[in-house]
Every structure is written in C-alpha cells, then in structure tokens.
C-alpha cells in the first residue's frame, strides 16, 4: 500500500486553514503562513484564533513559516493565498516544488491588469504542473463546525480530479468534479462583486424582494460574461455558480457582503477592511470585471454600480436608483 499524499496548503487565512484541517484528517498536512503568531497558535493550541476563533484544528496539522521546506515536502500543493498574491508567491514556490506535483487554487479573484484566473497564473509560472481550482459555497467557520457542505475540484485532468477528491472529502464535506475550470473559477470570482451589491441591499434595508432581484440578475451577469470567456453555461447553475453566489450574498459571515452592508451604512471602505482584517476579493475584482465587460461587450449594470460605489465614491442609494433605470425586456435574452 502506497503512503498517503503529503498535502501543503499555502496561506494561513480562514479558508486555507480550514482546507488544511480537512486534509489533515486523511494524511500528513502542513499549513504555511507568513504570520509567526498564526503558526505558533496552530502548533501550541491547535487553533487559528486570529481568523477562526476558538474552533479546534486537528492535532496532526503541522504549521510553518518556512516556505521552502513546506513546498519541497508536498505531493499536492494548495494555493490558499489571495489571488493578488499569487504572482509574488509562485517564483519562490517554483524553486522548491518537485516535478509533476499537482497545484490547486482556492483563490476567488482575477489578477488586476492581466485579467488572468489563478490557475492561468500557476500555469504561466509553474509550467508542467497539473492545475486545478477548488471552489464552492464554503464558509470556513461552518465547515469547521461540522455543518454539511460541498466543494468542486475543477480540472481538465480527470486523473488529477480523482486524486484530489478523497484528500479533502469527509462524511460531511463532499467533493465533486467538473472539467469546466474556466466557469468554476469565474463563478467564484464574479460572485464576490454581486455579494457587495447584496450587502448594500441589506444595509439600505430595501427588502428581500429587491435582494432576490439583485442576486438573480447578478447570476445572469456572471453567466453572460462567463460564457463570453469560454465557460460552460451549465456550470453557473451549480455549486461554483449559483451555490457560491447564494452563500456569499446571504450569509453574515461573507466578507464581501459585509463590505456592501458597511458602505451602505456610511462607513468607508478602509474602515470596513481594517475591522475585518481579511481580504474581500470583490473589491479588487470589481474593476477587473468591468474591464472584461468592455473587452467582450457584455452589459453588466449591477457590477458597474458596485464598481462605482467601491472605487469612485458613488452613494449606494444612488447606485440602487441607477439600477431602477434599466428597462426590462425578455428574462432569457435581455442585456440587463
């Protein structure tokens, strides 16, 4: 019988730590974090108090601040750093990763300027390594609390997908496969922008009908742009599309939703980010989405209003008034 795969997860935030905790239930797993206090907490108390409160982590989960050693030992490498940190992290990874090691991304964002998806950055900087995206409606604290959840491993390599599935699956956490890596990554990235709009709806107290409208038409925008970029339309009705969108738009644990809610209540973006102490990917993605919309001639009215609020000082109430000016046409074929 062969030895179990050794998994290394790069990124000591809430979701990276949670995925490492799932893997540690099956085999040797190392979590790498830049923050020495996070590493010490995992070692000494089996907690990540900064990001996950007092939730226990598996005793077997190791943690380190030494990137080279963590990468060199990996049979499977999981990138849990934010998407904007991929390009800065991967050159060091390239110096130590062994040939043929699969690399999976947890990031839900797009690189500013290049518009690249996380797996495209991996392919550029780690040529020859199989790549996958792992995404879905996953709120870290609920997963660690043992509530039922699921995730998709998206890759064109069926063998890699089948290898990764059992490394993270538990009796309460399902792992599905999807060959549409483009749609799976875009769903995870674009829904963050819509979640900011949903949070603004909560902050403005415009009602559940309006929030449902925003979420549903937001899905139409995500699908429209995703298909233009080569994704399979069916993906957006699944876990990495509608599933992830719903969880991120309605949960009080959602960072992007909290950004929208805070903005609608008169707080500044910097105040909100400082209080959370974590990245809200939708803030950066909003501009990238609008650039892609212009490039592919996709009408994205909700994303446009979010980008105006987040980056150009538009008042959230005015943004919602702006959405009301859109003329409804056929639900299946309209552009708004």
Residues 104-122 pLDDT 10s: 999 999 999 999 999 999 9
Regarding whether 129 and 217 lie in a shared domain, the answer is no
Domain boundary pick from 179, 194, 228: 179
Q: Out of 179, 208, 236, pick the residue that ends a domain.
A: 179
Note whether 224 and 128 are same-domain residues: no
Domain boundary among 179, 210, 230: 179
Note whether 171 and 196 are same-domain residues: no
Same domain, 161 and 220: no
Question: Are residue 189 and residue 300 in the same domain, yes or no?
Answer: yes
Domain count, the chain: 2
Residue 60's domain spans which residues? 7-179
Catalytic residue, from 55, 117, 129, 191: name it: 191
Q: Does residue 336 surpass a pLDDT of 80?
A: no
Within this chain, do residues 245 and 228 fall inside the same structural domain, yes or no? Answer: yes
**23 shares its domain with 144:** yes
What confidence score (pLDDT) does residue 332 get? 63
Q: What pLDDT, on a 0 to 100 scale, did the predictor assign at position 324?
A: 60
Strand 131-135 relative to strand 7-10, pairing: unpaired
191 is catalytic: yes
> In this structure, are 170 and 197 located in the same domain?
no
Please give the pLDDT value at position 277.
Answer: 81
Q: Domain check: are 230 and 299 in the same one? A: yes
For residue 329, being part of any structural domain is answered with no
Strand-pairing partners, residue 10, are: 32, 79
């Amino acid at each position: 019988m062969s030895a179990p795969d050794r998994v290394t997860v790069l990124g000591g935030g809430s979701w990276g730590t949670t995925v490492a905790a799932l893997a540690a239930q099956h085999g040797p797993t190392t979590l790498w974090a830049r923050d020495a206090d996070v590493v010490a907490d995992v070692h000494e108390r089996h907690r990540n108090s900064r990001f996950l409160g007092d939730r226990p982590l598996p005793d077997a989960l190791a943690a380190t601040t030494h990137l080279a050693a963590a990468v060199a030992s990996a049979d499977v490498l999981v990138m849990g750093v934010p998407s904007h940190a991929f390009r800065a992290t991967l050159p060091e990874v390239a110096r130590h990763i062994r040939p043929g090691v699969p690399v999976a991304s947890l990031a839900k964002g797009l690189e500013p300027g290049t518009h690249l998806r996380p797996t495209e950055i991996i392919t550029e900087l780690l040529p020859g390594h199989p790549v996958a995206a792992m995404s879905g409606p996953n709120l870290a604290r609920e997963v660690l609390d043992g509530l039922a959840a699921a995730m998709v491993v998206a890759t064109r390599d069926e063998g890699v997908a089948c290898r990764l599935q059992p490394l993270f699956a538990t009796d309460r956490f399902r792992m599905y496969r999807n060959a549409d890596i483009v749609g799976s990554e875009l769903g995870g990235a674009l829904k963050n922008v819509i979640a900011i709009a949903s949070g603004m709806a909560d902050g403005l107290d415009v009602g559940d009908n309006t929030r449902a409208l925003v979420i549903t038409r937001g899905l139409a925008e995500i699908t429209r742009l995703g298909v233009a970029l080569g994704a399979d339309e069916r993906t957006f009705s699944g876990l990495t599309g509608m599933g992830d969108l719903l969880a991120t738009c309605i949960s009080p644990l959602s960072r992007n939703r909290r950004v929208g809610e805070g903005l609608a209540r008169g707080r500044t973006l910097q105040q909100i980010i400082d209080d959370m102490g974590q990245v809200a990917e939708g803030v950066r993605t909003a501009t990238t989405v609008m650039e892609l919309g212009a490039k592919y001639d996709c009408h994205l009215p909700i994303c446009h209003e979010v980008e105006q609020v987040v980056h150009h000082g538009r008042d959230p109430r005015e943004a919602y008034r702006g959405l009301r000016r859109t003329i409804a046409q056929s639900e299946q074929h309209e552009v708004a």
